[in-house]
Amino acid sequence: MRRMLTVDQASKEVSLSRCELMRGIHAGIYPALRVGAGRGKFLFDIEMLNEAITENIISRTASLAGKAEAESENIIPFGVIRRVAQ
């Protein structure tokens, strides 16, 4: 049987704030199940949540590395800059 946690329990388990988990649910980053009618409550499968967090970290790291590489191509080495005579 899968272990299901409420938002408060999951935030303690994975060391993310309640607010971050709620943002992630609404953004589609973190998988959750809404239980109950109307406003109900969200439940997390802790294994799926850990996998989603890991994938999110990996994709953010990869995109940051790509940005850093792209920015390094736009950097002019210090010795190349010369003063233009007027």
Question: Is 22 within a domain?
Answer: yes
For the stretch 11-30, pLDDT in tens is: 999 999 999 999 999 999 99
User: Which of 31, 73, 22, 23 minimizes the C-alpha distance to 52?
Assistant: 31
Show the tokens assigned to 86. Answer: 């007027």
Tokens of 50: 């850990």
Domain ranges, residue 10: 4-74
Residue 33, domain member (yes or no): yes
pLDDT higher than threshold 90 for residue 86: no
- Is the residue at 54 inside a domain? yes
Mean pLDDT to the nearest integer, 2-6: 88
| Residue 7 clears pLDDT 70, i.e. is over it | yes
Is this model's pTM higher than 0.85 or not?
Answer: no
Q: Please state the domain count of the chain.
A: 1
Summarize pLDDT for 33-62 with one digit per residue, the tens. 999 888 889 999 999 999 999 998 888 887
For the CA atoms of the chain, what is the radius of gyration?
Answer: 22
Is 30 domain-assigned?
yes
3-state secondary structure of 61: helix
CATH number at residue 42: 1.10.10
19 in a domain, yes or no? yes
* Residue 83 located in a structural domain: no
Distances from the Cα of 75 to the Cαs of 4, 34, 56, 70, in angstroms?
Answer: 49, 48, 29, 9
- Specify the 3-state DSSP secondary structure of 41: strand
pLDDT at position 31 is 93
